[in-house]
Chains A and B, each alone.
Chain A
Amino acid sequence: MTAIFKRELRSYFHGMLGYVLTAFLLASSGIYFLALNLGYGLTDFGYYTLYRTIFMLLLYIPVLTMRSLAEERRSRTDQLLLTSPVPVWGIVLGKFFAMCAVFALPCLMDVVMILILWALGGTVPALAANFAALLCYFLLGCAAIAMGEFLSGLTENPIIAAVAGFSVLLLAYMMPSLRSLFNAGSAVALAVFTAIAGAASLMAGLRTRSFILGCLTFAALCLGLTGLFLLQSAWLTEAFSAVLSVLCFFTPFEDFVNNSFSLPTLVYYLTVTGMFLFFTAQSIEKRRWN
């Protein structure tokens, strides 16, 4: 694992990518820091800089993660990794930690900015709140990196991985607005759940190469949905809104921006990270059996 970590980290700084990405993120947070925190004398780094520049991660994370597994597959170097006595999770974690280390660089510069605010007369509670916000920002980034690594493992083409990563993050970013759109009534929920059931049955049918099984799955799911809708339609709407709120990836970060410390938020980001790393390892494992 350490061998992969070191090689991966070095490869970001062998070329331009590591420097360019770090500069990109630093420039955006630097501008907000200069204009708002220093310009107006605001001590809240979490809101004025981190929260307002968080959309930069929509570009930063997909570019950072796009090559991680896709490039290995394209250049066949995955054969070296997968035939060496390193377990699959060692490969996944080594790459993940290397990308987190690259992401930690701009975050370390953020630490300097926070310390500057403190040195210029910020209070200790403000300092603590700023550090808490930075911690949450870093964990959010790590969760997004895990997701990007998973997407990169699905394809041989880094560009496709980047576009997929951007789309997923954009969807998660817009989810709060989309959710209010969907909350109109349970009819929308039914339609969406039916579409999900359709997609699931299509997948089941394609995987098993059986048309009948796909149709049967769809029929069973629709029957279940109709039953639920007729008897307990509140369940459906509640479940629907609960699912959507889990997909609002950037919303939990707001807890930290309001100068509060929220353990559930940290648990949420760590869970997302763990889940996607697990999926990544599973998808690599699965490909060997095909």
Chain B
Amino acid sequence: MIEVSHLTKTYGRHLAVDDVSFTVEDGQICGLLGPNGAGKSTIMNILTGYLSATGGLVTVAGHPLPEEADAAKACVGYLPEQPPLYPEMTVEEYLLFAAELKGVKRADRKEQVRKAAHRTGLDNVMPRLIRSLSNGYRQRVGIAQALLGSPKLIILDEPTVGLDPAQVVEIRKLIRELGKAHTVILSSHILSEVQAVCQQVLILSKGKLAASGTLEELTAGDRSLEEVFMELTGGNAEEETGEEEAE
């Protein structure tokens, strides 16, 4: 589904992603793990065609980027770090707009929007203005938007940020469910989350790919994912586990 080889991205002189290569097979749930500033969001922005790579080859669903960007974008649903919402619209208006933007046929739009809203638990807030929603609901509207057009690949950047524990459980259930029919990539710095839903894990540190493999491979020899993560990402580890406990 995704092939990335020797991907490099620089912002000015700052090297954000440094020679990263990986592949994600069809129907997998892949976790992108790393401390803040490791380059998770940058990689996701490149996979979705929002940014262009400085170097390297990226192929999404068989379409090389940026040459066949439009065809690749049609196969991808994306929830960015900050959900891209228009506060002056109602949830329903917004989802209908997103469906039209993704080229969902007019006849199917209502049905798709209803399904996506139902899966993310938005049925009751459809007529409300996005402006008046809580952060948790905004996040869910963002996820619903990513499901529209039933894309083959769903990319979620920190999908459970701002949700309460019950919602986190619900969203994890949803992600596992999505993994049956779609390929899912999600980024997180919460280890337990990755452990709970992902089959494949990529660990990033300072723009470099520190480790990749299935959960079993990474935690071979009775080591916990936490230990592996700390070892690979070095100095940031304590800070990160602190954050995890706070969640």
Contact = CB atoms under 8 A, between A and B. Distances in A.
A86 interface: yes
A15 to B, nearest CB: 6
Nearest to B148: A84
A80 B48 contact: no
A40 B102 CA distance: 56
Interface in B45-101: 45, 48-52, 70-71, 73-74, 76, 78, 80, 82, 84-89, 97-98, 100-101
Q: Chain B interface residue count: which class? A: 20 to 34
A78 B228 CA distance: 36
Given A4-B101, A289-B52, A77 B70 contact: no
Nearest to A78: B84
Contact of A79 (B52, B80, B87, B97): B80
B160 interface: no
- Interface secondary structure of B, over-half rule: loop
Contacts of A264: none
A83 B50 contact: yes
Contacts of A208: none
A82 B101 CA distance: 10
A224 interface: no
Contacts, number: 68
A20 to B, nearest CB: 15
A85 B103 contact: yes
B97 to A, nearest CB: 5
A7 to B, nearest CB: 5
Contacts of B102: 84-85
A3 interface: yes
Contacts of B49: 82-83
A81 interface: yes
A79 B101 contact: no
Interface in A1-58: 2-4, 6-7, 11, 14-15
Contacts of A4: 101
Contact of B50 (A15, A82, A87): A82
B242 to A, nearest CB: 27
Contacts of B45: 79
Contacts of B74: 85
A290 interface: yes
Given A2-B100, A83-B48, A83-B78, A11 B84 contact: no
B101 A11 contact: no
Contact of A80 (B11, B100, B145): B145
Nearest to B80: A79
Interface in A232-290: 288-290
Nearest to A84: B101
A75 interface: yes
B12 to A, nearest CB: 8
Contacts of B98: 80, 84
B2 to A, nearest CB: 15
A14 B84 contact: no
Contacts of A78: 84
Nearest to A4: B101
A7 B78 contact: no
Nearest to A286: B52
A278 to B, nearest CB: 19
A85 B103 CA distance: 8
A1 B32 CA distance: 33
A79 B100 contact: no
A11 B87 CA distance: 10
B101 A77 contact: no
Given A84-B98, A290-B11, 18 more contacts: A7-B86, A7-B89, A11-B88, A14-B89, A76-B84, A77-B86, A79-B48, A79-B50, A80-B84, A81-B101, A82-B50, A83-B73, A83-B78, A85-B73, A86-B70, A87-B70, A288-B50, A289-B52
Interface of A: 2-4, 6-7, 11, 14-15, 75-87, 288-290
The 6 A-B pairs at the shortest CB distance, nearest first, are namely: A80-B84, A3-B100, A85-B74, A83-B48, A77-B84, A79-B80
26 contacts: A2-B100, A3-B101, A4-B101, A7-B97, A15-B88, A75-B85, A76-B80, A76-B82, A77-B86, A79-B48, A79-B78, A79-B80, A80-B80, A80-B98, A83-B49, A83-B50, A83-B73, A84-B98, A84-B102, A85-B71, A85-B74, A85-B102, A86-B101, A288-B50, A289-B52, A290-B11
